[in-house]
Amino acid sequence: MTSSRKTKVAIIGSGNIGTDLMIKVLQTAQHVEMGALVGIDPASDGLARARDLGVPTTHEGVEGLIAMPEFADIDIVFDATSAKAHVHNDALLRPLGKRLIDLTPAAIGPFVVPAVNIDEHLDAPNVNMVTCGGQATIPIVAAISRVVPVAYAEIVASISSKSAGPGTRANIDEFTETTSGAIARVGGAQRGKAVIILNPAEPPLMMRDTVFALVSAPDPGVHDEIRQSVEKMVADVAAYVPGYQLVQRVQITEIPGDQPVETLLADGADRPTHQVSVFLQVTGAGHYLPAYAGNLDIMTSAGLQVAERIAAAKAAQA
């Protein structure tokens, strides 16, 4: 027997990410509904929009959320603050039985990338959505590693500096560390590296992501399998991030014998034969943020996808 009751969610963080996520929940969610939006600035645009839309609010942070009468009915809490703040929020909320979906790079809970491993951690009390660059590129690394072992994967996420707010800028170090770890743990690479570029160009550029993977694929037939796997994965991600797309055909090139790739490999790893290069673009859906802010849109879309799956599983068991 299934329940028709939607699962109530709260969002901590009334900035760009939290506000965009709120509007996505209000406009597109099937299994979850807004219970509260939480901020620390009473004059924030996000809290003002929430009040106009009839969403309960507090400007007193997580402590204010816990004090709200609506708190008892909330099952899932999104955290769209910062890595440091999430440690505090998790310590207060988890003992009260709330499920946390972490949109910061704090990485307290297991990494989740919906197109890759969404069903593996549905029961986890806290799941981490890695980073915007991780959500865009780890599916590609995983798609390649399903065909051939990936000895090394490097991702470069280039985003408009206008779409990088104070939270994003404060988390740059955590971005590189968290994304690099998830490239290996979720993507399946033996070693991973992540680079983020804040591009100040005007007009603002769309989010672009590049994936370089070193593999052993001397058989040309395997090259077609790699391309097909990547193209299928792009379609899987685009199912919940419509602006996610390949910008050119997957490139697979032989690594010259004099190229010193050994410095990139794990100890004892065999020398790879080919480099796989994948070039992506993420255009935002425009729910609250401009289209160039695909880096923020992919985070909110991925987070909502996880909440919807958790809520659907809960309803199926009711």
If one counts the domains in the chain, the total is: 2
211-225 mean pLDDT: 96
In a domain? residue 20: yes
Which pLDDT belongs to residue 171?
79
Find out whether 128 is annotated in a ligand binding site: no
Find out whether 171 is annotated in a ligand binding site: yes
Find out whether 50 is annotated in a ligand binding site: no
Mean pLDDT computed over every residue of the chain = 95
Find out whether 14 is annotated in a ligand binding site: yes
23-38 mean pLDDT: 98
In a domain? residue 1: no
Look up residue 111 and give its DSSP letter.
Answer: B
6 assigned to active site: no
pLDDT tens across 130-156, in order?
Answer: 999 999 999 999 999 999 999 999 999
Find out whether 163 is annotated in a ligand binding site: yes
**Domain match, 150 and 279 both:** yes
275-293 mean pLDDT: 96
Q: Among residues of the chain, what percentage have pLDDT more than 70?
A: 99
In a domain? residue 14: yes
202-214 mean pLDDT: 97
Residue of 304 and 2 predicted with greater confidence: 304
**Domain match, 15 and 104 both:** yes
In a domain? residue 2: no
> Worst-scoring range by mean pLDDT, 38-52, 165-179, 240-254?
165-179
258-281 mean pLDDT: 95
**Domain match, 179 and 137 both:** yes
Q: What CATH number should be reported for the domain holding residue 217?
A: 3.30.360.10
**Domain match, 156 and 74 both:** no
Which pLDDT belongs to residue 74?
98
**Domain match, 181 and 280 both:** yes
Q: Is the pLDDT of residue 308 over 90?
A: yes
Q: Is the pLDDT of residue 3 over 70?
A: no
254, 222 in Cβ contact below 8 A?
A: no
Find out whether 35 is annotated in a ligand binding site: no
**Domain match, 91 and 231 both:** no
Q: Is the pLDDT of residue 313 over 50?
A: yes
Catalytic site residue from 106, 132, 153, 217 = 132
In a domain? residue 201: yes
Q: What is the pTM of this model?
A: 0.95
User: 213 by DSSP, 3-state: which?
Assistant: strand
Which pLDDT belongs to residue 210?
98
**Domain match, 213 and 147 both:** yes
**Domain match, 90 and 189 both:** no
Find the helix packing angle between 132-145 and 294-317, rounded to 10°.
70
**Domain match, 56 and 201 both:** no
Q: What CATH number should be reported for the domain holding residue 37?
A: 3.40.50.720
Q: Is the pLDDT of residue 1 over 70?
A: no
Find out whether 161 is annotated in a ligand binding site: no
Find out whether 169 is annotated in a ligand binding site: yes
In a domain? residue 160: yes
In a domain? residue 241: yes
**Domain match, 153 and 222 both:** yes
221-248 mean pLDDT: 98
In a domain? residue 32: yes
Residue range(s) defining the domain that contains residue 252? 132-290
Phi, psi (rounded to 5 degrees) for 85? -65, -35
The CA distances from residue 144 to 24, 34, 194, in Å, are 31, 37, 17
**Nearest CA to 138 among 115, 172, 169?**
115
Which pLDDT belongs to residue 317?
85
Which pLDDT belongs to residue 260?
93
The CA distances from residue 49 to 21, 53, 64, 157, 244, in Å, are 12, 6, 18, 30, 27
Find out whether 194 is annotated in a ligand binding site: no
**Domain match, 255 and 268 both:** yes
Please, which pLDDT band fits residue 4 given cuts at 50, 70 and 90? low
**Domain match, 224 and 108 both:** no
190-207 mean pLDDT: 96
Secondary structure (DSSP) of 19-52: HHHHHHHHHH-SSEEEEEEE-S-TT-HHHHHHHH
Phi, psi (rounded to 5 degrees) for 36? -170, 150
Please, which pLDDT band fits residue 5 given cuts at 50, 70 and 90? confident
155-160 mean pLDDT: 97
Q: Is the pLDDT of residue 239 over 90?
A: yes
